[in-house]
A and B are shown apart, each in its own frame.
Chain A
Amino acid sequence: MKELIRKLVEAAGPSGYEQSVRDLIKEEVTPYADEIRVDALGNLIVRKGQKREGGLRIMTAAHMDEIGVIVTHIEDDGFVRFTTIGGVRPHTCLGGRVQFINGVRGVIGGEKLESMDRVHSFDKLFIDIGATSKADCPVKVGDVAVFERPFLDLGKRLVAKAMDDRIACAIQIETLRRLGNTPNEIYLVFTTQEEVGTRGATPAAFGIDPELGLSVDVTLTGDTPKGIKMAVALGKGPAIKVRDSGMLADPRIVRWMVETAEKANIPYQLEVLDGGSTDARAIQLVRAGVPSGCLSIPCRYIHSPSEMVDYDDVQNAVALLVALLSNPITLG
């Protein structure tokens, strides 16, 4: 799976501009899908199976988009001012490199600060793409870019930008490959615009009208020095979400996930996340309501250019998702 993960994380797909990621995923899923479509907002919807006795219509969602930046102004001397797409933090920017989706590359510099202890606010940062004037600057207002950072394979641990949420895209692709006969009608959705407020998942879920919704996304961990207090750690298995700040997972879904993991001998952790949410937040509220939950991948340094996951967690997440989707489901 590592080569697939590398390809996915190195693609550039800021929110609203996911096409290169979508093209890549489409190629991977085409041999295994029963139906593929792209909706008005660019969500890639991949169907596997048809609903049979005991089965449900299920939507799973992994988002294709990543955080990035968008140009607001080109200065007379060619420096590029920008604002953020999604939850970029200024302390991860200075000295970083960005790649525009039109191929232009640049480095982020900052104005001189009064004190070296301070962090630049975004209005004091700029992108230097090597231009000397506005006239020879190859980007314009409204152009978008992502952070550039090569995939790093540390063996058991994998590091990359956009691990949030390409790791889940990889998990959904791998799950599709391994899915055999199932009574469920499964819509593996690769969503858009999650990072700017779960905007793609709402219309995708409206179109699918699922009976059960599951997002697959990364979650924070509490296992780094003097980090946040949280009972999720890398390497202890995928996390089954109980709640986050946008969703209380349906308790029947939590039980179903826990029982499935235990039956299949797959390690898991229970997740209670204080800040942040996932596509399931949007799915649960579509139409007359959808029982929803989330399969989380523990991830360190989320929304930095170096997000770290554990490869065993990834493989166990695939195993759990395959087990969840393969059998008749009775929520109770």
Chain B
Amino acid sequence: MDPQNLPLDLLERLSNACGVSGDEGEVRKIVLEAVKPLADEVKVDALGNVLAIKKARGEPALRVMLAAHMDEVGLMIVDEEEGGLYKFEIVGGIDPRQLPGKPVWVGKDRLPGVIGARPIHLTTPEERKSAIAAESLRIDLGPEGGKKAKPGDRAVFATPFKVVGPSVMGKALDDRLGVATLITLLERAPSHLEFQAAFTVQEEIGLRGARVAAYTLNPDLAFALDATPANDLPTWDGSENTTYNARLGHGPAVYVADGATLSDPRLVRFLLQTAAAHHIPYQIRQPGGGGTDAGAIHRQRSGIPSASVSVPIRHAHSAVAVARLDDWANTINLMLHTLQALTPDILAPERS
């Protein structure tokens, strides 16, 4: 797939949709609409995961699960104080230093609000040396917003999606890029394997949806499709940046190890061989912390060989992330070629 054929409209709808962990309904609606014509079987499970299966033509077929999470990090209203001022808590991993001054959308009606902070005129140089405590911040909906939001309502950064030259910018690219990728792959699912698409919930708060999805699907192997931070900006002193995690423009990031999974080496080798055979650029995501749905999937039932592939994004878990169209297209291509070439032989040797 060339970058100009990418489903940007789909990504735009997905990125603009609000789907904070546990409240993924708006995203699920878009996903269901997209996958119903593509899959043989579609269901929504007890936790809200969308499971879409495209059966194989021949038998016995390899059952391959692909997971992308629908949820995003965000905020939750916990209490109204007065006149449209709301206390909130963070859902998932957001650095509280990212919050002050950001516009937000609150609740199903997308009430416009702002996380306010005292302006520079009224702060002392001493105060400006430290971060503002998240507990002291409020979402301000204005007097019009009084009694409009309720405890439990979710809020997200109010960032409309944009295409800017070779890049996309938007909120929730983690993991709507994966969701859009998975829909694209389902559309082109090779017929020799059983394609099990899992659009999961509650990844950002501990891989909760993927765990039960993997139990239901009981696949032979699995791939998690996610987005990973690119911390690839130059260092301030010009020294070599050795902790970039992943880099924009270097292709899909293949995981060997993160905080939750030691990828199955058979799958990693297969991905890298496929990339080399089709001249698809790729990078190894730097081993380290973090995790994807693979962390829950690989431990399910009697064990499920798993690996993860991510689109690198700058400024993840903030109001706006930046990704390259090239990286996204190459991720889709890598997964398409990998799925086309996958056979049960991959699991014939023992894990090594």
Contacts and interface: CB of A to CB of B under 8 A. Distances in A.
Contacts of B303: 39-41, 43, 200, 203-204, 206-207
B350 A19 contact: yes
A181 to B, nearest CB: 29
B350 A22 contact: yes
Interface string B217-243: 000000000000000000000001011
Interface string A41-54: 11100000000000
Interface string B274-288: 000000000010111
B138 interface: no
Contact of A142 (B240, B287, B350, B352): B287
A202 B297 CA distance: 12
A85 B302 contact: no
B256 A73 contact: no
Interface residues of B, number: 25
Contacts of A39: 302-303
Interface string A25-37: 0000000000000
A140 B302 contact: no
Candidate in A71, A73, A76, A207 with the most chain B CB atoms within 10 angstroms = A73
Contacts of B256: 70, 141-142
A199 B287 contact: no
Tell me if B's interface is mostly helix, strand, loop or mixed. Answer: loop
A142 B298 contact: no
Contacts of B350: 19, 22, 38, 42
Contacts of B298: 41, 199
A7 to B, nearest CB: 19
B32 interface: no
Nearest to A76: B240
Interface string A202-242: 11101100000000000000000000000000000000000
B352 A140 contact: no
Interface string B27-68: 000000000000000000000000000000000000000000
Interface string B317-352: 000000000000000000000000000000100111
B198 to A, nearest CB: 18
A153 interface: no
B286 A17 contact: no
Contacts of B301: 203, 206-207
A193 interface: yes
Given A70-B287, A72-B286, A142-B257, 13 more contacts: A15-B262, A16-B257, A16-B265, A19-B351, A41-B303, A43-B303, A70-B256, A71-B287, A75-B240, A141-B286, A142-B284, A202-B299, A206-B303
* Cβ-closest 10 pairs across A and B: A16-B262, A203-B303, A142-B256, A19-B352, A40-B303, A41-B303, A42-B351, A207-B302, A70-B287, A141-B284
21 contacts: A17-B262, A17-B265, A40-B305, A40-B347, A42-B352, A43-B303, A70-B287, A71-B287, A72-B242, A75-B240, A83-B287, A85-B262, A141-B286, A142-B268, A142-B284, A199-B262, A199-B299, A203-B299, A203-B300, A203-B303, A207-B302
